[in-house]
Structure 1
Amino acid sequence: MLRSEKLEKVKKATLAMQRWPWEQGVVAQAFFEAGDIEMATLMAREAVTNQCKDGRLGMKYERGAATDPAANGEVVLRAAEITGEEIFKTAVQKMLNYLLYRAPKSKDGIIYHNENEGKIWVDSFYMAPPFLAVAGYPKEAVKQIEGYRKYLWNNEKMLYAHQWDDNLGLFSRELHWGVGNGWAAAGIVRVLIALPEKMQTEKSNLIEYLKEIIDGCLAHQCENGLFHDIVDDPSTFIDSNLAQMLSYSIYRSVKNGWLNTEYIEYADKMREAACLRVDQNGLIQGSCGVPDFNAPATAPEIQAFYILMEAAYDDYYMS
């Protein structure tokens, strides 16, 4: 398939998928960055339609998520700016109020991934901090990233663990999950994009964190350009999505001057490998996917990062 034809198939396949709160948000972000503002706004409207009274967006299929719903926040905020509609403005404030004042947190103020669980997940890097940053709370966004790093970063491995149980004071899943490390990298990139210029110290710290996680993952890259599901465990299956997430992160970072251009060859190799996993229906195969995210499958988040990767690729090479 031609590149444009493949991308359109991926988009159509994505729109056909049922979506959880974070998936609705990530897919909406993908269409927004790809330039389809109309579709992104429609998705934002659906996230608002399924907003809980407490402010959590896109909560059609679950009630326990704390940080996941915030993945919808940025696109809802953009919809408010574009349309001027009060429904979007109110929804943004309600989502923001939930994160700031109602979400379950550790003693040091770090938002737990789910309610009634007391656990910090690496996924949350991507879900809450970027929205906090664009919604006018960049210091809180950085605080959350620093907190997630404090609990989950393995300095020896240069990788993030998946889950910390704050109630028990130990890891509930210490494995270095590939997609989880992708969430961390891409989440840091999105916060960096949103931070004001005056926060140069914070930017420098985040850039260093970003470089560390990318280097930590690249140390375990397979010959084909992809990574194992558990990055440092070659007995686990080879996943597609971490490559997409890191490609996206590298293209955006080099474009903004946060990483050296030498990283582009890695991004290109990962992108080419991921593109080979798109089937005739536009589904990216072989990634850590639904329903349980522990085996090779498909998922809206995987589709979304293909679209995000391609948007970042275009922005780097063609603008």
Structure 2
Amino acid sequence: MRWTGEPAADRVLLALLTMQRESWEQGLLGQALLDLDLHEAAVLVADAAVTRQRPDGRLGEPAGSVGAVNGAACGEVVRHAARTTGDPRYGRALDAQLDWLTGWAPRAADGTLFHLLDGRQVWADTIYMVVPLLASTGRTELAAAQVIGHRRRLHDPHTGLYAARWDEDRGELDRPGPWGTGNGWVVAGIARALRPGPAWPAALRAELAGHVEEVLTACLAYRGDDGLFPDVLDDPGTFREANTAQLLGYAALTGVTDGWLPRSWAAVGADLLAAADRRVDGHGRVTGVSGAPEFTGPGTSPEAQACHLLGYAALRRTRAALSPG
């Protein structure tokens, strides 16, 4: 089995393909396959996401799902399928997902999307799920508005960190702790949205890039000698979690490669990924991450597997970009 050209990454990918996945994890798998130039496999991932599309437009969701935004993570790979196959099924599916996001998904009065159908909560995770898709389809103003709305509710300017959840009805944080993975979703989502292609206004692009660097810097203050972070960044009593390092590393390397972070971040990003590499077991599973399906304790998850591959692909791009000649 040779997919990526790197045996360790191939084992991680094989483990991911055997895992039962939720909608956002299907989307992350598709993104990883695109970044690894495994385009034929990416189309198959898109096909499965469209097969499970809800009538309201949410991609990859089983019947009864209460996820309002997670399926949008599948949008990028469905867009790829629409552009490369010419099959109108994919274009219609992408249009329905975007119509849901922009017009029908539950949201606050200022337009900030709620994460679930059955509650009025704003989650840090949503930035990763929706902002890259909105940006890649030319909706940069809407993408920026989601970052602004989430930042207003969840970001603490004194610490530089994001809380996990905000309850709109109570007007207060529901999960105030700075969950490491949540902060990772924020910086990785913005980084993916800033990749070449979307026509970002220069000032807005610079503002978002600066915000990513702010959050990255704030997170690094909580990094331990093992190169990893507590699951809740400011609570050393929580378990040592590896996916935070993968998400932060991906964001740092992407920023360097795409020219909006200083080159000094390349070494930081590579070191973050190396720390997570040490958690990969002999079966290719990234261990000691916030574990599926509840994400309340250490375990394994398809999202962590995909983030490992996204990080690997980002490191490969950075090395190519910075190599002499």
TM over 0.5: yes
Question: How has the CA–CA distance of structure 1 residues 17 and 273 changed in structure 2, closer, same or farther, with 3 Å as cutoff?
Answer: same
Q: Which residue of 1 aligns with 2:293?
A: 291
**Conservation of the 8 A alpha-carbon contact between 2:191 and 2:254:** yes
User: Whole-Å Cα distance in 2 between the matches of residues 291 and 65 of structure 1?
Assistant: 14
**Alignment partner, residue 271 of structure 2:** 269
Contact 1:134/1:194 (<8 A) preserved: no
CA shift at 1:318, angstroms? Answer: 2.5
Identity %: 37
Deviation at 1:116, TM superposition (A): 2.5
Aligned-pair distance for 1:62? 4.7
CA–CA separation in structure 1 for the residues paired with 2:166 and 2:148: 14
Which residue number in structure 2 is paired with residue 102 of structure 1?
Answer: 104
Residue equivalent to 1:58: 60
Give the TM-score normalised by structure 1.
Answer: 0.97
In structure 1, what is the Cα distance between the partners aligned to 2:147 and 2:81? 26
SS of alignment partner, residue 6 of structure 2: helix
SS where residue 154 of structure 1 aligns? coil
Deviations 1:227-249 (A, max 9, x none): 11001111111000011111111
CA deviation map 1:73-119 (0-9, x unaligned): 11101110111110100000000000111100001011100112000
> Unaligned 5+ residue runs, structure 2?
none
Q: Matches of 2:200 and 2:151 in 1, distance apart?
A: 23
Residues 249-270 of structure 1 show CA distances to partners (whole Å, capped at 9, x for unaligned) of 1111011121111122221221
TM superposition shift of 1:193 = 1.5
Runs (5+) with no aligned partner, structure 1: none
User: CA 1:196–1:284 in structure 2 vs 1: closer, same or farther (change >3 Å)?
Assistant: closer
SS in 2 for 1:232: coil
For 2:85 and 2:199, locate their aligned partners in 1 and report how far apart those are by CA, in whole Å: 27
- Which of 303, 306, 318 lines up with 1:304 in the alignment? 306
Give 1:48-127 correspondences, 5 Å limit.
Answer: 48-60=50-62, 62-127=64-129
Residue 108 of structure 1: SS of its match in structure 2? coil
Query: Which letter maps to 1:294?
Result: T
Give me the whole-angstrom Cα distance separating, in 1, the residues matched to 2:43 and 2:237. 42
- TM-superposed deviation, 1:195: 6.3
Inter-partner Cα distance in structure 2 for 1:195 and 1:300: 28
The equivalent residue for 2:158 is 156
How much is the aligned-residue C-alpha RMSD, in angstroms?
1.4
Cα distance between partner residues in 1 of 2:89 and 2:6: 35
Alignment deviations for residues 47-85 of structure 1 (CA, whole Å, 9 cap, x no partner): 000000100000026521111010001110111011111
The one-letter code sitting in structure 2 at the alignment partner of 1:216 is A
- Cα 1:198–1:304 change in 2 (3 A) is closer
Structure 1 residue 219 displacement after superposition: 1.0
1:226-265 aligned at under 5 Å gives the runs 226-265=228-267
**2: CA distance, partners of 1:262 / 1:8:** 29
- Aligned counterpart, 1:137: 139
Q: Which residue is 1:168 aligned to?
A: 170
Task: Tell me, in whole angstroms, the C-alpha distance in 1 between the residues paired with 2:63 and 2:310.
Answer: 24
Q: Find the counterpart in structure 2 of residue 221 from structure 1.
A: 223
Residue 31 of structure 2 is matched in structure 1 by 29
CA distance in 2 between counterparts of 1:33 and 1:251 reads: 13
SS at match of 1:159: coil
Give the Cα separation in 2 of the matches to 1:310 and 1:123.
21
Worse-superposed segment, 269-278 or 305-314: 269-278
SS of residue in 2 equivalent to 1:172: strand
Shift of 1:32: 1.1
Give the 3-state SS of the residue equivalent to 1:128 in structure 2.
helix
Question: Is the CA contact 1:177–1:229 (under 8 Å) kept in the aligned structure 2?
Answer: yes
Deviations along 1:253-310, one digit per CA (max 9) or x if unpaired, are 0111211111222212211111111101110000111121011100000000110000
Quick one: distance in 1 between partners of 2:22 and 2:200?
36
Separation in structure 1 between the aligned mates of residue 64 and residue 295 of structure 2, nearest angstrom: 16
Runs of 4+ in structure 1 over 3 Å off: 194-198
Return the letter of the residue paired with 1:111: L
Cα deviations across residues 196-247 of structure 1 (Å, max 9, x unaligned)? 4451111011011101110010111111211110011111110000111111
Q: Determine helix, strand or coil for the equivalent of 1:175.
A: coil
Contact map agreement 1:133 1:194 (CA 8 A) in 2:
no
